[in-house]
Structure 1
Amino acid sequence: MGLTDPASTLPGVGPKRAEALASLDIHTVGDVLFYFPFRYDDLQVKSLDEAADQEKITIKGIVVADPVVSRFGPRKNRLNVRVQVDRAVVMVTFFNQPWLKDKFTQGMEAAIYGKWDAKRHSMTGMKVLATQTEDAPSMAAIYPANKNIRQSTLAELAKAAFAKEQGHIPDIIPQVIREKLRLHSDEQLIQGMHWPKTPAEAKAARRTAIFREFFLFECQIQSLREDSQLAANGLAIPFDNQQVRGLIKTLPFALTTAQKRVVNEICADMRSPKHMNRLLQGDVGSGKTIVAAIALYAAVTARFQAALMVPTEVLAEQHFAKLTKLFADFPVKLALLTGTTKGKQRKATLEGLASGDIDIVIGTHALIQKAVDYANLGLAIIDEQHRFGVKQRQILQDKGLKPDLLAMTATPIPRTLAITTYGEMDVSTIDELPAGRQPITTTWVRHNQMREALQRMQQELNAHHQIFAITPLIAESEKIDLQNAEQLYADMQKVFGKAAKVALLHGQMKADEKDAIMRAFSDGEIDLLVSTTVVEVGVDVPNATVMLIMDADRFGLAQLHQLRGRVGRGKSAAYCILVADPKNDMGVERMQTMVTTTDGFKLAEKDLELRGSGDIFGDKQSGLPEFRVADPVADFATLSAAQQVAASLFKTDPSLSAPEFAPLRAYLARQQQLVGTLD
């Protein structure tokens, strides 16, 4: 038997149990062995005088009477055992475990773990740790379980798997690295994590487990980089530098130093025969779109097609309108392709892409549908990339001759998360805002100060400006007493309805309804848009000057900053009003941080510090890998070390051809990350 054999080869694992294990992402014998406990119960024997009421403790004593099983309801029973501990007799009760009766006989010594009831001087037994024929462990492993499978089953399977594989477990981390960093072998690691004899032993094993998890992840990242940077997998785009300079000269503003730097980084990648896989990150309003436009045009000057994929139809239309204006005096043919592109227009666009007649196409996920073929796609740009999955990005890349890929995001990413989320990509950062960008005045008011907020909103409506009003919920919730979109819409209509056009937008609407409302707001037909966070990306309204965010303490700082960035895009002063009654000091600190900080990168770091990684992108959008033992934030020093070690290893031996790397090479091949010579 080997670690890659199915878990069903272990004793007691039939189809039903195999399915239960799969629900925990356990499929192989190796998965069983590396499914580690997340904590341990202290099983050291404790004096009754030191035990607190309802504390879980271990007692050790002599059984002074034969155990008794009694029934007290349908399918309910209890086993009572009297145990003398020092000079006191303790009644230990096990519920619904009658089979434990055979473990006890009068006069024997036993160690029992359970919950101590100090008032009754009794214990609710949880497990029998030892009898005269067994040694008592000092620590008990607690596994992440679910309704499909019990703790005890996971513990039993770990023992069975180890008994079969002991002596045959390969070390994936090369010996030279283990010796340098004083890490356990995989066999020592498994023993130390599942069955530690002391807390120190468990801590040492956990140290290795954390590094191992990060190291294997970083090796996968390095293998992706090696693959993408192979000249054979890349595309050289010999753009015309003079023509690109000509486009830049026509811009009505000068590029910032940061914009010039990232344009040079992107253009160098495009000219190189290696495959570009670059992330462009920049704060809201930092000027990513013009950088993308320059890259698109560069591809066209080399007679390649280019595609720009965005998350919403309204944003696609806005980009199309801006680029059409930008390229008005240049020989560039543009097209728009979204889900609503129908009939003759759709047919003509598809034919133009297939024939090469269209140079640049802007669209939504419609760009990656099966019917869409490109004649010579050389560059693919994805805006707000965290809204698209890895598969969608891959499909777009597969549409051409392995086109260069530029992903863009307005969500500043702390270095902690950049290493894990975008480790296989090169990162370009626009870290300054263009001159003339309107500052956004941010204020925080409590619900009882709403009158101040309404006065500001009225002033802006009187000046014929537009307003966003954002709420975190779509409909009423009995559990969370928050202002919701429907109620806020009713309130805003009551206050402003006679003098302003108020509309409601939320995620449960049909796509065409949402697009129609966003389009109307963009065109100035709606004065006040009440919405959930669907407006976080995907709409550019220069005339919008107020962003009102209700129950702002329910949002992450990065998300609040994204929403704030929806205003201040025109020539008028802009305002962000946060309405919140935070319930603790952390909530107050977050609101104060928003008022005093406009730097998105600082806010993202603060969000990470205060709330953790889940709020940087929003639920299940981040693309963050799931680690079973390691924590990218808490264990960042180890993550950095693992990244450096993996990078150094691949720099020395990119194909992992040395014999001592064979287990690591085999592991990566199984992960289907390595290609070509690494298969």
Structure 2
Amino acid sequence: MSLALEDPVSALSGVGEKRQAALRDLGIFTIEDLLTYYPFRYEDLGARRPSETLDGEKVTFKGIVSTPAVVRRFGKRSQTVLGLLIDRENIRVTFFNQPWVAKNIEVGQEVAVYGTYNAAKAALSAIKLVPATTDALDPIYPASKGVKAKTIADLVEQAWGQLRGQMPNLVPQHLRDKYHLLDKNQQIEWAHFPKDSAEAKAGRRSAAFEEFFIFQMRLQLIKQADQSFGGQPLNYDKKAVATLIDRLPYDLTAAQKRVVGEILADQHDARHMNRLLQGDVGSGKTVVAAIAMYATVTAGCQAALMAPTEILAQQHAKSLAKLFDQAGIDLRVELLTSGLKAAQRRQILTDLTNGDIDIVVGTHALVQDDVYFHHLGLAVIDEQHRFGVKQRSKLREGGMNPDILAMTATPIPRTLSITAYGEMEVSVIDELPAGRKQIITSQLSQRQFDQALALMKAELAKGAQAYVVTPLIEESETLDVRNVTEVYQTLQAALPDYTVGLLHGRLKKDDKDTLMQGFKDNQVQVLVATTVVEVGVDVPNASIMLILDADRFGLAQLHQLRGRVGRGDRQSYTVLVADPKTDYGKERLKALVDTTDGFELAQRDLELRGAGDILGTKQSGMPEFQVGDPVKDLTMLTIAQQEALSLVRESDWDNQVENQPLVTYLSKTMAQFRHFD
């Protein structure tokens, strides 16, 4: 019976129910899955001399058996020892727990042995006998307890023996020519059965591009489908929007102007907007969102802003109302949160439905079943890493298909913006408002704490305020409070002329809010906190951030903390007090001292920690790639994105002959990716 690519792996000899289940756990369901399950490394089986081999290196030695194989037994364990003459060099070879080797070799026979070389003892710790004629690389596959790498290799060889030359080319010919990529069949051959390292490298290179390209094609098709879902152009009042911008108490930066232009162009387009607005801490995202919301209102629609916490929702509602009021624009801005009284909530819901409210600010309460808008034109989501298909579907079920503008102050490295956020258009505010001074960051050891204290006293004497942050000790809330209390008492004694506040996890919400308000009003000059100070809390008079045990914080977290200062015209400082024990800890703090660019830091963190670790692959929406590395292969990933975008923009791309294998493959596999977020 002939084998087909779409056949289940159970069609192969030696694959029963148990092995099929083990392969399924590795993501191998069909013969095609098996043939595109590539090795992650190769063992060089080409023979060498001992004099050419480094100590501890894995190597293949080919020679003549010079002494009989002797089996020594130690209970259930055994050692099989023999002599091997390689040219004029004699070495001792030891096989562990492989007593049958002695029956298969004899003195004078030529054999090839693969193992780890011990140069000092002129000895080889043997792993296996290999064919004496071999000169190739041995592919090593990601395996599991249920199925060994050798079993996968044997199954690949069995499948390829029947299907050699029958793999369809998913990457179009013009791209293979442009980037010197292999034909799919040659790619499979060289990736699984390379004759040398050059073939292995070329096979994996072509496989990695194909993997990135297919992923990007799926994203572009999802984006295309999303944009075509009932989008409506917003005919906003350009003069009114220009008037708002003119009446702002400050000039927009060039970056803000560029981003406003991108968003307004999207809103005016008939396609549905799904845009991510990235901006470092303090870059001015909120005013950009306010302009977009006002444009929506001038087009006769409503706008909604969703924040992750009630505190931030309240802050946004106040700042928006103040901004429009100062500009002399009459708009109704309301706050909808779970803390409202029943009567207030009912009235706001009624007014929303009737269209009497222009802009509503709230939390995810805004997408609950009893919330209906008169005509929602724009939904702004602040600090939501994912506002995906399910939430948009929820809005559509209510007869709405608003444009989506997601905002984040967490710098997203290019790798993640191309992958985890690849279905969104991305705007970046990469410039701070005029007058903002660069925050000076330094690192001190624990023994230099007095220097940090001296800097704090100098800033307080100038009328500034300070944050002091200690890390959470997750294992013990009691220990955590005791730790921060000791810091609080130390600072109270050291700063008798100033009011020191203490913020920790056991404080009641009202006490916490009162303390934060006291700090904003400068009734408290030094705020000692165990937790990350609320993202978005704005105290322009605070000029120093002292972070104790800074090596216990993540790089992104440290950058967010640093962003709490430098919000006014004072020169601001961040002092990292730490004695990092690991290279990673030292590199992390060095990166923070070297740059204040959040995007550069985010990319550096990704390089230091790896894509899977930085966010928790599944949690972040960061896809798992089998061959390509989205951090190391960022250039390739970017090119794959550009080429996928270019292809889907061709009106008849799916009817072109060279694209038919790709079209067929995507139509078979797209369903499982439609709701990937």
Name the TM-score class by shorter chain: 0.7 to 0.9
1:88 to 1:593, Cα distance in 2 relative to 1, 3 A: closer
SS of 1:216 mapped into structure 2: helix
Question: Which residue is 1:152 aligned to?
Answer: 150
Question: Which residue is 1:41 aligned to?
Answer: 43
Question: Which residue is 1:496 aligned to?
Answer: 491
Unaligned 5+ residue runs, structure 1? 478-483
Q: Structure 1 residues 162-171 or 519-528, which shifts more?
A: 519-528
1:389 to 1:94, Cα distance in 2 relative to 1, 3 A: farther
Question: Which residue is 1:272 aligned to?
Answer: 269
Q: Counterparts of 1:323 and 1:174 in 2: how far apart (Å)?
A: 50
Does the CA-based 8 Å contact 1:224-1:674 persist in structure 2? no
1:51 to 1:414, Cα distance in 2 relative to 1, 3 A: closer
Q: Counterparts of 1:102 and 1:383 in 2: how far apart (Å)?
A: 71
Among 642, 646, 649, the alignment partner of 1:651 is 649
Q: State TM-score, norm by structure 2.
A: 0.84
Offset, 1:35: 2.0
Question: Which residue is 2:513 aligned to?
Answer: 519
1:154 to 1:235, Cα distance in 2 relative to 1, 3 A: same
Question: Which residue is 1:666 aligned to?
Answer: 664
Offset, 1:331: 4.9
Question: Which residue is 1:221 aligned to?
Answer: 219
Q: Counterparts of 1:670 and 1:355 in 2: how far apart (Å)?
A: 45
Q: Counterparts of 2:342 and 2:110 in 1: how far apart (Å)?
A: 85
Question: Which residue is 2:57 aligned to?
Answer: 55
Offset, 1:271: 1.7
Question: Which residue is 2:31 aligned to?
Answer: 29
Q: Counterparts of 1:139 and 1:546 in 2: how far apart (Å)?
A: 58
Does the CA-based 8 Å contact 1:312-1:538 persist in structure 2? no
Q: Tell me the number of residue pairs that the alignment of Structure 1 and Structure 2 aligns.
A: 659
Offset, 1:198: 0.7
Does the CA-based 8 Å contact 1:383-1:408 persist in structure 2? yes
Summarize deviations over 1:477-522 as a string: whole Å, max 9, x none.
Answer: 9xxxxxx95564133222134764543446xx8xxx7866763443
Question: Which residue is 2:126 aligned to?
Answer: 125
Q: Does 1:192 align with 2:190?
A: yes
1:67 to 1:343, Cα distance in 2 relative to 1, 3 A: farther
Offset, 1:283: 2.5
Does the CA-based 8 Å contact 1:379-1:403 persist in structure 2? yes
Identity of aligned residues (%): 49
Offset, 1:290: 1.0
Superposed, which structure 2 residues align to 1:297-316 within 5 Å? 297-316=294-313
Summarize deviations over 1:440-463 as a string: whole Å, max 9, x none.
Answer: 343332222111222344566677
Q: State TM-score, norm by structure 1.
A: 0.84
1:85 to 1:264, Cα distance in 2 relative to 1, 3 A: closer
Offset, 1:213: 2.0
Q: Counterparts of 1:14 and 1:642 in 2: how far apart (Å)?
A: 38
Q: Counterparts of 1:11 and 1:567 in 2: how far apart (Å)?
A: 66
Q: Which amino acid aligns with 1:302?
A: A
Among 303, 307, 314, the alignment partner of 1:317 is 314
Offset, 1:327: 4.2
SS of 1:171 mapped into structure 2: coil
SS of 2:648 mapped into structure 1: helix
Q: Does 1:368 align with 2:367?
A: yes
SS of 2:406 mapped into structure 1: strand
What is the root-mean-square deviation in Å for CA atoms of aligned residues?
3.9
Among 150, 159, 168, the alignment partner of 2:166 is 168
Unaligned 5+ residue runs, structure 2? none
Summarize deviations over 1:246-304 as a string: whole Å, max 9, x none.
Answer: 44454333333432332232122112111112222222212110111121122223232
Q: Which amino acid aligns with 1:29?
A: I
Offset, 1:404: 0.9
Q: Counterparts of 2:247 and 2:17 in 1: how far apart (Å)?
A: 68
Among 282, 285, 289, the alignment partner of 1:288 is 285
Q: Structure 1 residues 78-87 or 424-433, which shifts more?
A: 78-87
1:272 to 1:165, Cα distance in 2 relative to 1, 3 A: same
Does the CA-based 8 Å contact 2:113-2:126 persist in structure 1? yes
Q: Counterparts of 1:394 and 1:563 in 2: how far apart (Å)?
A: 32
1:227 to 1:382, Cα distance in 2 relative to 1, 3 A: same
Q: Which amino acid aligns with 1:670?
A: K
Does the CA-based 8 Å contact 1:485-1:531 persist in structure 2? no
Does the CA-based 8 Å contact 1:309-1:381 persist in structure 2? yes
Summarize deviations over 1:204-233 as a string: whole Å, max 9, x none.
Answer: 212212222222222223323433443x54
Summarize deviations over 1:14-54 as a string: whole Å, max 9, x none.
Answer: 45444433443334332322222222122121223444444
1:632 to 1:273, Cα distance in 2 relative to 1, 3 A: same
SS of 2:215 mapped into structure 1: helix
